[in-house]
């Protein structure tokens, strides 16, 4: 029994999972404490609303899936880059320019509805990819830190998007882009019947398919093996003959592509979804890093952590009835990221615990062996 | 002439917060801790100090109130930055992630507090801090118009802080040790300097100056705080990198970036720029593009501290 427990706690996947759960638990706890300090009367009821809201009706469940779609994709973009030793913190820009492309293609061009959404979505992914070219080239061939170039590209992307919306497709009264054409909407594929009143659409399938593709690339191909080995130990990989420059380029391009795709899908998902002129990034892009971290950068883990963040986000909208703003969820997510940054410490603690258990189990075994051998001696 | 003084006056309002925050970031990076949480620290400092202004606006006003707000902004920035210091120094956590956590937390917390305390997201306050004309100095031709009329004392404070920072970093024992901790922490460690302490100090100075920068960003430009500092923390990071982590270059690049922001905010009122007809978004983009280009050209001569972002384990070789 003890031996089994040791094996389970000892495996690094389980340790990562436990570390994520611990981060989530700490984040929720700190969130509850802050809520309690500012509004003790309603804190507990509001918290319960947030935790249970996502399951309270089919519409809300649909909204969870709808909210999760871009989140999963953004988490995949960041998580994929993490695994390969690149830090794609530029999803803000890639997502925004992707969204812009989708809005422009969906709103300005006339195409039959069977392919319009597809064209707009693919164009969004392509432009997202292009936005990652500069950080990629700078990192791969000129050794410039990708984190800083990514942050700079985020702001360039944001201001450029605001300007192009104003120039090309602007609605003055809404201070936002005009709506897209009906033919450019993502197909619902019957989701609207199951989850009445929610905006969930075929984008969800795309997100899951992308997760599976990333999983296959990373774990089932030699290309992905090369990418991951660069993440583990760059020098050893170079010594083994892996072209790390090319790999960095591929990683940035793929990560940008996925982030652009996320932007495209979000803005093609509902007729009333327009690109607002604002000088902040959407929450979705702030969640990308926490989702990747909570999912331990593993594609399957990212799908679940994306669903989790979407779940508490939807629950958070219900909390308003108890006098708590939606931003409470952002705050809790921030605390979760903060604790996720400690996950290494958590993992080390778990590792020590499993070692201690193993040691104990080993002692027991030795003791048994000694007893046996001494018995043998008697014979 | 009037336009000229107007531009320069505006430029000071935009540049001083950039200067303060970039100097703060410099101390953190030079001690070896990457700090992308500057934006969050700015928001937090602004939130606490503006809330103070709002609560005390009926009993006090003018320079005394602003001075107290300055102290509160600085102190709250320090407290908030301790989260980053603890994560990156003691727990050796990923510094980018910890910084990003602060950036995500502060605006959300700010909206949360504003909604619960005041019932709305925007915190309004009475702005009674402008100095119409400094006696004597305000009568100097040209310079008096630019620097000493319709001014805020935070501008002078910011410039004074610049000189203090440059002196502390380059001419004191503290500064030398701090820089050593960012370049090659094993060396100061081997002669008994506590690297953790200096790294804590670096992050706390960045928190203090960012918190102050948050207040200085809000006060001269408006009479409300909307839980955001409009990306100025990241712009300050660009200033710091463009300034190659040295005080004097940071000083000049903050004024250059501040001028770009002035153009973006006021170009329609400036005859020369209005005829050019370039929309404000392009001026706002320019500092970021310039920074990317600068990164490209300084890639081999970059003066980034050698141990930036690398956790230090005591006794490590």
Of residues A264 and A195, the one with the higher pLDDT is A264
Question: What are A24-44's pLDDT values in tens digits?
Answer: 999 999 999 999 998 888 888
- pLDDT, residue A364, reads 62
Q: Among A87-96, A270-279, B118-127, B264-273, which stretch is predicted with the lowest mean pLDDT?
A: B264-273
Answer positive or negative: Cα dihedral of A216, A217, A222, A224.
Answer: negative
Q: What is the mean pLDDT of residues B14-34?
A: 95
User: Given pLDDT bands bounded at 50, 70 and 90, which one contains residue B1?
Assistant: low
Q: What is the mean pLDDT of residues A191-211?
A: 87
Cβ contact, residue pair A345, B91, below 8 Å:
yes
Element (H, E) at B255: helix B247-266
Domain locations along chain B: 15-228
Q: CB distance from A345 to chain B under 8 Å? A: yes
- pLDDT, residue A369, reads 53
Chain B CB contacts of A337 under 8 Å are 97, 100-101, 104
Interface A-B: count of C-beta contacts within 8 A: 138
pLDDT at B55 over 90: yes
pLDDT at A3 over 70: no
* A149: closest CA of chain B, how far (Å): 6
Q: CB distance from B90 to chain A under 8 Å? A: no
Taking CA atoms, B61 is separated from A10, B53, B129, in Å, by 62, 9, 8
pLDDT at A62 over 80: yes
Query: Cβ of B67: how many Cβ atoms within 10 Å?
Result: 14
User: Given pLDDT bands bounded at 50, 70 and 90, which one contains residue A377?
Assistant: very low
- pLDDT, residue A251, reads 94
Chain B CB contacts of A136 under 8 Å are none
pLDDT at A373 over 70: no
Q: CB distance from B238 to chain A under 8 Å? A: yes
Angle at A123 between CA A121 and CA A129, to 5 degrees: 105
- pLDDT, residue A57, reads 86
pLDDT, averaged across chain A: 86
Of residues A214 and A15, the one with the higher pLDDT is A214
Q: CB distance from A334 to chain B under 8 Å? A: yes
User: Given pLDDT bands bounded at 50, 70 and 90, which one contains residue A379?
Assistant: very low
- pLDDT, residue B212, reads 97
Q: Which of A249, A203, A205 is nearest to A223 (CA)?
A: A249
* A7: closest CA of chain B, how far (Å): 26
Cβ contact, residue pair B108, A159, below 8 Å:
no
Of residues B55 and B298, the one with the higher pLDDT is B55
Q: Which of A40, A162, A167 is nearest to A93 (CA)?
A: A162
Residue for token pair 């305390």: B117
pTM of the model as a whole: 0.89
Selection from B55-64, B123-132, B203-212, B277-286 with the highest mean pLDDT: B203-212
The helix/strand/coil state of A258 is helix
Close Cβ partners of B93 (under 8 Å, ≥ 6 residues apart)? A341, A342, A344, A345, B87
Element (H, E) at B236: helix B232-242
Of residues A124 and B100, the one with the higher pLDDT is A124
Task: Tell me B90's DSSP state.
Answer: I
* Residues of B (242-271) whose Cβ lies below 8 Å from A: none
Residue in A38, A163, A335 closest to B282 by CB:
A163
Q: What is the mean pLDDT of residues B121-136?
A: 86
Residue for token pair 């309690």: A36
Question: What are A295-332's pLDDT values in tens digits?
Answer: 888 999 999 999 999 999 998 888 888 888 888 888 99
Q: What is the mean pLDDT of residues B29-41?
A: 94
User: Given pLDDT bands bounded at 50, 70 and 90, which one contains residue A212?
Assistant: very high
Q: What is the mean pLDDT of residues A170-191?
A: 86
Cβ contact, residue pair B87, A325, below 8 Å:
no
Per the CB < 8 A criterion, the answer to whether A294 and A339 are in contact is no
pLDDT, averaged across chain B: 90
d(CA B43, CA A223): 43
pLDDT at A216 over 90: yes
Domain locations along chain A: 1-39+333-359, 58-323
pLDDT at B131 over 60: yes
Question: Percent of chain A scored above 70 by pLDDT?
Answer: 92
Chain B CB contacts of A346 under 8 Å are none
**Interface probe, candidates B87, B231, B311, chain A, greatest A C-beta count within 10 A:** B231
Q: CB distance from A71 to chain B under 8 Å? A: no
Of residues A172 and A73, the one with the higher pLDDT is A73
Query: Cβ of A163: how many Cβ atoms within 10 Å?
Result: 17
- pLDDT, residue B250, reads 95
* A2: closest CA of chain B, how far (Å): 30
Question: What are A151-161's pLDDT values in tens digits?
Answer: 899 999 999 99
As a three-state string, the secondary structure of A125-151 is HHHHHHHCHHHHHHHHHHCCCHHHHHH
Of residues B26 and B153, the one with the higher pLDDT is B26
User: Given pLDDT bands bounded at 50, 70 and 90, which one contains residue B191?
Assistant: very high
Question: Integer distance in angstroms from the first to the last C-alpha of chain B?
Answer: 61
Alpha carbons within 13 A on the beta-carbon side of A108: 13
User: Given pLDDT bands bounded at 50, 70 and 90, which one contains residue A169?
Assistant: confident
**Interface probe, candidates A338, A340, A342, chain B, greatest B C-beta count within 10 A:** A338
Question: Integer distance in angstroms from the first to the last C-alpha of chain A?
Answer: 30
- pLDDT, residue A376, reads 45
Q: What is the mean pLDDT of residues B88-96?
A: 88
The helix/strand/coil state of B305 is coil
Taking CA atoms, B197 is separated from B3, B10, B181, B190, in Å, by 48, 39, 10, 15
Beta strands in A147-264 (DSSP E): 170-171, 176-177
User: Given pLDDT bands bounded at 50, 70 and 90, which one contains residue A362?
Assistant: low
pLDDT at A368 over 60: no
| CATH T-level topology, domain A58-323 | ABC transporter involved in vitamin B12 uptake, BtuC (1.10.3470)
Q: Which of A119, A129, A251 is nearest to A185 (CA)?
A: A119
Q: CB distance from A141 to chain B under 8 Å? A: no
pLDDT at A98 over 90: yes
Chain A CB contacts of B84 under 8 Å are none
- pLDDT, residue A1, reads 47
- pLDDT, residue B169, reads 96
User: Given pLDDT bands bounded at 50, 70 and 90, which one contains residue B119?
Assistant: confident
User: Given pLDDT bands bounded at 50, 70 and 90, which one contains residue A378?
Assistant: very low
Question: Percent of chain B scored above 70 by pLDDT?
Answer: 99
pLDDT at A262 over 60: yes
Cβ contact, residue pair B281, A159, below 8 Å:
yes
Query: Cβ of A243: how many Cβ atoms within 10 Å?
Result: 14
Taking CA atoms, B232 is separated from B16, B95, B212, B240, B287, in Å, by 11, 20, 13, 12, 11
User: Given pLDDT bands bounded at 50, 70 and 90, which one contains residue B162?
Assistant: very high
Q: What is the mean pLDDT of residues A337-348?
A: 78
């Amino acid at each position: 029994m003890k031996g089994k427990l040791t094996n389970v706690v000892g495996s690094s996947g389980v340790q990562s999972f436990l570390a994520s759960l611990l981060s989530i638990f700490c984040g929720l706890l700190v969130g509850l404490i802050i809520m309690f300090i500012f509004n003790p009367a309603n804190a507990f009821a509001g918290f319960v609303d947030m935790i249970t809201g996502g399951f309270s009706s089919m519409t809300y469940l649909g909204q969870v899936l709808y909210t999760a779609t871009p989140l999963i994709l953004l988490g995949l973009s960041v998580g994929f880059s993490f695994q390969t030793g690149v830090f794609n913190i530029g999803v803000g820009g890639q997502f925004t320019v992707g969204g812009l492309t989708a809005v422009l293609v969906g709103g300005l061009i006339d195409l039959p509805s069977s392919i319009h959404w597809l064209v707009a979505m693919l164009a969004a992914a392509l432009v997202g990819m292009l936005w990652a070219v500069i950080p990629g080239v700078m990192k791969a061939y000129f050794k410039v830190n990708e984190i800083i170039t990514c942050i700079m590209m985020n702001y360039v992307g944001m201001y450029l998007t605001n300007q192009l919306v104003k120039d090309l497709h602007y609605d003055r009264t809404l201070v936002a882009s005009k709506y897209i054409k009906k033919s450019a909407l993502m197909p619902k594929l019957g989701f609207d019947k199951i989850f009445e009143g929610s905006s969930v659409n075929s984008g969800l399938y795309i997100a899951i398919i992308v997760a599976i593709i990333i999983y296959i690339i990373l774990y089932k191909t030699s290309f992905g093996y090369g990418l991951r080995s660069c993440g583990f130990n760059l020098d050893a990989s170079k010594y083994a003959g892996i072209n790390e420059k090319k790999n960095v380029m591929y990683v940035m391009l793929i990560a940008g592509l996925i982030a652009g795709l996320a932007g495209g899908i979000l803005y093609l998902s509902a007729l009333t979804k327009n690109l607002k002129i604002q000088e902040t990034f959407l929450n979705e892009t702030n969640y990308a890093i926490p989702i990747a971290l909570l999912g331990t950068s593993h594609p399957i883990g990212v799908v679940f952590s994306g669903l989790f963040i979407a779940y508490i986000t939807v629950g958070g909208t219900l909390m308003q009835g108890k006098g708590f703003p939606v931003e409470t969820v952002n705050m809790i997510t921030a605390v979760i990221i903060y604790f996720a940054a400690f996950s290494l410490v958590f993992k080390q603690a778990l590792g020590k615990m499993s070692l201690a258990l193993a040691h104990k189990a080993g002692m027991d075994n030795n003791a048994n062996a000694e007893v046996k051998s001494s018995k043998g001696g008697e014979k | 002439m009037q336009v000229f003084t107007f531009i320069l006056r505006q430029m000071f309002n935009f540049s001083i917060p950039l200067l303060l925050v970039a100097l703060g970031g410099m101390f953190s990076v030079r001690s070896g801790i990457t700090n992308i949480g500057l934006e969050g620290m700015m928001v937090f400092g602004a939130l606490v100090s503006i809330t103070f202004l709002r609560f005390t606006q009926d009993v006090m006003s003018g320079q005394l109130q602003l001075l107290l707000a300055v102290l509160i902004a600085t102190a709250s920035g320090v407290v908030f930055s301790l989260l980053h210091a603890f994560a990156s120094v003691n727990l050796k956590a990923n510094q980018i992630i910890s910084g990003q956590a602060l950036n995500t937390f502060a605006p959300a917390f700010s909206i949360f507090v504003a909604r619960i305390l005041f019932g709305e997201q925007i915190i309004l306050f009475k702005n009674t801090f402008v100095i119409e004309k400094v006696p004597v100095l305000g009568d100097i031709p040209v310079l008096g118009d630019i620097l000493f009329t319709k001014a805020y004392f935070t501008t002078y404070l910011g410039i004074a802080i610049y000189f203090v920072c440059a002196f502390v970093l380059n001419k004191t024992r503290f500064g030398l040790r701090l820089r050593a901790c960012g370049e090659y922490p094993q060396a100061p460690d081997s002669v008994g300097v506590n690297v953790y302490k200096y790294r804590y100090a670096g992050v706390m100075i960045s928190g203090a100056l960012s918190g102050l920068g948050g207040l200085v960003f809000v006060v001269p430009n408006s009479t409300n705080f909307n839980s955001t500092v409009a990306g100025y923390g990241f712009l300050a990071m660009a200033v710091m990198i463009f300034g190659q982590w040295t005080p004097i270059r940071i000083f000049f690049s903050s004024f250059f970036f501040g001028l770009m922001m002035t153009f973006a905010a006021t170009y329609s009122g400036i005859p020369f720029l209005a005829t050019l007809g370039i929309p404000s978004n392009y001026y706002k983009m320019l500092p970021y593009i310039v920074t990317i280009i600068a990164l490209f050209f300084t890639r081999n001569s970059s003066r980034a501290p050698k141990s930036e972002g690398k956790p230090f384990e005591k006794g490590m070789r």
